Amino acid sequence: MRYVSVKSTLIFYFCGVNLRERQVFFKQLVLKNNNDFMKKIRHLILGLLILLPFAMSAQTVIKGKVLDRATGSELPGVSVYQKGTTTGTATDFDGVFELSVDNANALLVFSFVGYNTIEMAASPNMTVNLDESAESLEEVILIGYGQTTKKDATGAVEKVGSEDFNPGAIASPEQLITGKSAGVNVIPPSGRPGEGGAIKIRGGVSSLSASNSPLIVIDGVPVDQDGPALNTINPNDIESFNILKDASATAIYGSRASNGVILITTKSGKMHQDFAVSFDSKFSWGEAENKVNLLNRDQFIREINNLGVPDASALITPYETNWQDHIYQTAFGTDNNVSISEGYENTAYRISAGYLLQEGVLKTSEYNRKTLALNLRQNLFDNSLKMDFNIRASFAQDEFANEGAIGSSVSMDPTKPIFSGNSQYNGYWEWLNNDGSPNNLSPRNPLGLLDAFNSHAGTNRYIGNAKFDYAFWFLDGLSIVANFGFDYSEVDGYNSTDAASASGFYTGGSNGVYDSMRRNTLADIYLNYAQTFNDVHRFDVMLGQSFQDFYRENSSFNQDGNGTITESEWASTNALLSYMFRANYGYDNRYLLTFTFRRDGSSRFSEDNRWGNFYSGALAWNIAEEAFLENSETLSTLKLRLGYGETGQQEIGSDFGYLPVYMVGQDNVRYPFGNSYFNTLRPSGYDANIKWEEAATYNIGLDYGFFEDRIFGSIEYFMTESTDILNTVSPPAGSNLSNSLFTNIGDLEKQGVEFTLNGDIIQSENFRWNLNFNATWLENEIMKLNTVDDPNSPGLATGGISGGVGNTIQTQKVGYPQNSFLVYQQVYDTAGDPIEGVYVDTNEDGVLTDADKRIYNSPNPDWLLGLSSYMDYKNWDLSFTMRASIGNYAYNNVASANGNQDNLYDLGTIRNAHASILDTNFRNPQYWSDYYIQDASFLKMDNITLGYNFENIKNGDVRLRLYSTFQNVFTVTDYDGLDPEINGGIDNNFYPRPQTLLFGFNVNF
């Protein structure tokens, strides 16, 4: 064992030293350095990792400078290390480095993101020039069970790296890429703290069912599409998103790929990297800027008096309360993250910890999350075995508010005080019956609701994987990869309603607990063979198998003050077994060919329908590499891609939807025969023939780049034909055991165009400006419905609304986009106001019936636009993200349910109304008037950030950045409701998205 001294850089070094020697050595080292705190931490980390021997060396000091060959400017942060060792450093802000090497002729390796790595013999005061690499082209992108470069990709795959992420108070990872990628619509969550947004790739319309989310794969582990939410992953640990959009790219994920696939790579340690610490802290304050447009006190009193009902007018009292002002608060938030990382010759690690606290703008709601992530990479046997271990833990705590308060704050009488002046019902003013009990049919005092409700839940999630990549010695290019992953989460929740409150009065309060557990385990094994023959024939072949097993369970127990107990317990499981094959062939970097095949078996289908085969093929032609364009000064990239692929959907809502299963009734629904009570047995509805939803996608794309890719982008056209789409429908009466069945219902077609343009508009020494623009056009149409193909049929009702019971506003109908609104056509008077109950008799049969409702627009946008700008001037930087959606309509359910006189005075109480009543003067609710279907197109500025970088702290060893972000800056829209961006298009008591001001800093040393 070579042992020099214990004073300089530690080196992980794998040679034939036995474990005992290593341990003894390690102990010595720890003892000798116990007065040095920093080193102690490092040693502790080393101890946590694999205990390995190390050797020391420290003799000659080499100084030098690294420059950009093209511009001559100094390059800071370039990694420099001695080849064959782990002695390394990085250049400072002047591009200067100083490195101790063990001999004066050592070979040094210089590497830097975006530049070609070079090796150079050490010499005193050396100057090194680095060449910029064709960064966007050589960039590695993940394609599932392997990787490729942008240049060699044949499918529509887009990578969004951390440099493009949205800044701001972000609790859930998907918000990092809102507006950043064409065809990817991330609908931001409501203002509920910690909530994640909805992701829709290319409209995500495959199955008509509520969840059309893409498959999310974290470090190779596909997460359960059935939850838990993505917000348990700390966004700060994410390095990049690779978005697979077209089927030629997603087909390798077969039966789960119809809605696209997002591969998330988390940050990891890098080999040959100095010990680095990064600390990031943010503080934010958010306000609910928009409120529902209600009658103010004077308008309200006028409307009540206009009713001409003395009993109603008598209920007005001389107080004034704007309830919406009282339920919302300034929401404070903070997000703090620290990470340390270090890389040696064969070992690298990264450890990070985070703490996030986010109050909700609705009082009493709060979310906090502690996260811990550990990554360890270890190369063995001369780098032929690469191991990558990830484990991340997150502990989230939700405090839920009673969101019924949002609805109550809309309808609560504005002439009532908050407090009654006596102690009954915790002092809150409530509508009471003559006997003093709360009026059960009136709105509750929203503050009383918030106060009486206590609900919290803790979510612990552990997700990890171990990946082994072994390159065989006997055949260059052949390797085997094994990836084992798990995702375990548990939720522990509690809720109670105060018995002394008005909302708890009739039940005597209640107490409930619930918990759930989700577990999935994954084993992937695949062989990879990549080789180039005769310099022109490049092959890349993958053959593999994957097995993933899912288990889920829920249970709940609730007891109210009257002793009524509600209990439930549920558990289920499913599994997926897959074989996959992919072959890439490239000829001379000009012609690229990809073929993939996946065979998926899902336990969710009967043996007859269990297996599905999913094929795809793609062709790409690098036109810019052809002789006639090779020397073009302007055109740097031109690639034409053609792809076809088949994908499926196996999220059918039930694990045993093909089986007749029976459910035992609980004790409180037993039935008496004679003197004994029998627990009942109920068969569930099922469809023995339920099968995969299948989608065939055609894609044509063109990648382009000008002026060495200073301007680059792509344009894509795609068309998807989905067959046997899945949805919950009402089967014809008598045909099944339930009136609600999840089954294959028909065919759907969608098409779209995506356009991306990236440009470094200005690139001077002091000022840089980069713009990224993306646009998406989308269209979808239902082609066939198995049971309601009749053109006169109103279709399959969907889109439940508030108002009445079980009422719907949308439909799925052949020849129309999914979730189209089905409404009456309102008739207007000469003043332009709607006439109550007067609608167009569209079928001209002389009577107004349901048959006169017609399809009128849909919540699906025609166009989605995104614009990101980044500029820096010296040490200042300024960036913003803007987004637009055009052609999407929303149903203003708040107005339709609350904007009428019938609502003003009801059941002996008076209630506030939506301000639309001033225009409509509706006496009764007109739920199905197209007056309430409003154009919800919008332009939003999601965030704007100003930052300043300090570079000269401690000679550039410490880097500090201060920044401030303003989120949800403005919204331009014609829509009358709270927010035009409502997932699903039905706007009803939406938890408002806050406008947030954030200050943050980031230190690296």
Partner 1 sequence: MKVFNKQFRLSLSMITVMLGLVFASCESELDKEPITQLTEAQVFEDPAAYKQFLARIYAGIAVSGQQGPAGQPDISGIDEGFSNYLRQYWKHQELTTDEAIIAWKDGTIHDLHNHVWTPSNEFVRAMYDRIYFQVGLINQFLRETTPEKLDGRGVDATLKAEIEVYRAEARFMRAWSYWHAIDLYGNIPFVTEADPVGNFFPKQGSRTEVFQFIESELIAIEPILVAPRQNEFGRADKGACWMLLGKLYLNAEVYTG
Interaction with partner 1 in 883-912: which residues (CB under 8 A)? Answer: 907
Closest CB 378 distance from partner 1, rounded Å: 22
Cα distances from 158 to residues 140, 149, 200, in angstroms, run 11, 11, 15
State yes or no: residue 655 binds partner 1 (CB under 8 A). Answer: yes
Residue range at the interface with partner 1 (CB under 8 A); choices 214-222, 320-328, 373-381, 668-676? 668-676
State the Cα–Cα distance between residues 486 and 1001, nearest whole angstrom.
34
State yes or no: residue 659 binds partner 1 (CB under 8 A). Answer: yes
Cα distances from 786 to residues 727, 740, 781, 974, in angstroms, run 12, 15, 15, 38
Nearer CB in complex with partner 1: 681/831 = 681
662: CB partners within 8 A, 6+ apart: 681, 682, 683, 684
State the Cα–Cα distance between residues 760 and 763, nearest whole angstrom.
6
State yes or no: residue 724 binds partner 1 (CB under 8 A). Answer: no
State the Cα–Cα distance between residues 591 and 643, nearest whole angstrom.
14
State yes or no: residue 670 binds partner 1 (CB under 8 A). Answer: yes
| Cα-based angle 976, 982, 986 (whole degrees, multiple of 5) | 75
Residue range at the interface with partner 1 (CB under 8 A); choices 132-140, 222-230, 570-578, 713-721? 570-578
> In terms of Cα–Cα distance, which of 520, 574, 578 is closest to 227?
520
Count of residues interacting with partner 1 (CB under 8 A): 81
Please list every residue from 466 through 525 that binds partner 1, using CB under 8 A. Answer: 472-475, 480, 525
Residue range at the interface with partner 1 (CB under 8 A); choices 16-24, 228-236, 450-458, 661-669? 661-669
Contact criterion met (CB below 8 Å) for 617 and 595: yes
State yes or no: residue 734 binds partner 1 (CB under 8 A). Answer: yes
Among 577, 696, 941, 960, the residue binding partner 1 under the rule CB under 8 A is: 577
State yes or no: residue 527 binds partner 1 (CB under 8 A). Answer: yes
State yes or no: residue 731 binds partner 1 (CB under 8 A). Answer: yes
Q: Got the DSSP string for 5-34?
A: -SSS------SS--HHHHHHHHHHHHHHTT
State yes or no: residue 574 binds partner 1 (CB under 8 A). Answer: yes
Nearer CB in complex with partner 1: 632/740 = 740
State yes or no: residue 545 binds partner 1 (CB under 8 A). Answer: yes
State yes or no: residue 84 binds partner 1 (CB under 8 A). Answer: no
* 666-673: Cβ within 8 A, 24+ apart: 666/567, 666/568, 668/565
Closest CB 293 distance from partner 1, rounded Å: 24
Nearer CB in complex with partner 1: 654/996 = 654
Closest CB 498 distance from partner 1, rounded Å: 21
State yes or no: residue 381 binds partner 1 (CB under 8 A). Answer: no
Report residue 281: phi and psi, to 5°.
-140, 135
Spacing of C-alpha 972 from chain mean position = 24
State the Cα–Cα distance between residues 521 and 847, nearest whole angstrom.
60
State yes or no: residue 675 binds partner 1 (CB under 8 A). Answer: yes
Closest CB 531 distance from partner 1, rounded Å: 15
Site string for partner 1, 334-373 (x = CB under 8 A): ----------------------------------------
Cα distances from 102 to residues 80, 86, 937, in angstroms, run 14, 11, 65
Report residue 409: phi and psi, to 5°.
-70, -20
State yes or no: residue 563 binds partner 1 (CB under 8 A). Answer: no
State the Cα–Cα distance between residues 113 and 240, nearest whole angstrom.
15
Among 59, 330, 564, 875, the residue binding partner 1 under the rule CB under 8 A is: 564
State yes or no: residue 814 binds partner 1 (CB under 8 A). Answer: no
Contact criterion met (CB below 8 Å) for 371 and 386: no
Nearer CB in complex with partner 1: 174/655 = 655
Please list every residue from 163 through 182 that binds partner 1, using CB under 8 A. Answer: none
Q: Does the N-terminal peptide bond of residue 228 adopt cis geometry, omega within 30 degrees of 0?
A: yes
Among 664, 765, 766, 832, the residue binding partner 1 under the rule CB under 8 A is: 664
State the Cα–Cα distance between residues 865 and 992, nearest whole angstrom.
23
Nearer CB in complex with partner 1: 732/815 = 732
Closest CB 349 distance from partner 1, rounded Å: 29
| Cα-based angle 241, 246, 250 (whole degrees, multiple of 5) | 70
Closest CB 800 distance from partner 1, rounded Å: 9
Nearer CB in complex with partner 1: 474/628 = 474
Residue range at the interface with partner 1 (CB under 8 A); choices 1-9, 379-387, 398-406, 656-664? 656-664
Among 116, 397, 730, 825, the residue binding partner 1 under the rule CB under 8 A is: 730
State yes or no: residue 19 binds partner 1 (CB under 8 A). Answer: no
State yes or no: residue 656 binds partner 1 (CB under 8 A). Answer: yes
State yes or no: residue 570 binds partner 1 (CB under 8 A). Answer: yes
Torsion of CA 190, 196, 201, 207, to 10 degrees: -90
Q: Got the DSSP string for 667-691?
A: GGG-EEETTEEE--EEEPP--TT--
Q: Which helix (H) or strand (E) holds 282?
A: strand 273-287
Among 72, 806, 832, 846, the residue binding partner 1 under the rule CB under 8 A is: 806
> In terms of Cα–Cα distance, which of 364, 352, 191 is closest to 286?
191
Residue range at the interface with partner 1 (CB under 8 A); choices 169-177, 223-231, 255-263, 667-675? 667-675
Contact criterion met (CB below 8 Å) for 397 and 469: no
Residue 711, strand partner residues = 706, 759
State yes or no: residue 439 binds partner 1 (CB under 8 A). Answer: no
Please list every residue from 274 through 313 that binds partner 1, using CB under 8 A. Answer: none
Nearer CB in complex with partner 1: 573/825 = 573
Contact criterion met (CB below 8 Å) for 565 and 558: yes
Closest CB 988 distance from partner 1, rounded Å: 16
State the Cα–Cα distance between residues 137 and 714, nearest whole angstrom.
13
Closest CB 664 distance from partner 1, rounded Å: 7
Which residue type sits at 660?
P
State yes or no: residue 687 binds partner 1 (CB under 8 A). Answer: yes
Nearer CB in complex with partner 1: 480/715 = 480
Closest CB 603 distance from partner 1, rounded Å: 4
Per the listing, tokens 């375990």 go with 488
State yes or no: residue 815 binds partner 1 (CB under 8 A). Answer: no
Nearer CB in complex with partner 1: 660/815 = 660
Please list every residue from 836 through 875 that binds partner 1, using CB under 8 A. Answer: 849-850
Among 672, 791, 832, 846, the residue binding partner 1 under the rule CB under 8 A is: 672
State the Cα–Cα distance between residues 817 and 815, nearest whole angstrom.
7
Pairing of strands 876-886, 938-953: antiparallel
State yes or no: residue 318 binds partner 1 (CB under 8 A). Answer: no
Closest CB 659 distance from partner 1, rounded Å: 6
State yes or no: residue 680 binds partner 1 (CB under 8 A). Answer: yes
Q: Which helix (H) or strand (E) holds 285?
A: strand 273-287
Please list every residue from 736 through 755 that binds partner 1, using CB under 8 A. Answer: 736-741, 743
Please list every residue from 587 through 646 that binds partner 1, using CB under 8 A. Answer: 601-603, 610
Nearer CB in complex with partner 1: 28/572 = 572
Nearer CB in complex with partner 1: 570/587 = 570
Spacing of C-alpha 158 from chain mean position = 16
Nearer CB in complex with partner 1: 71/924 = 924
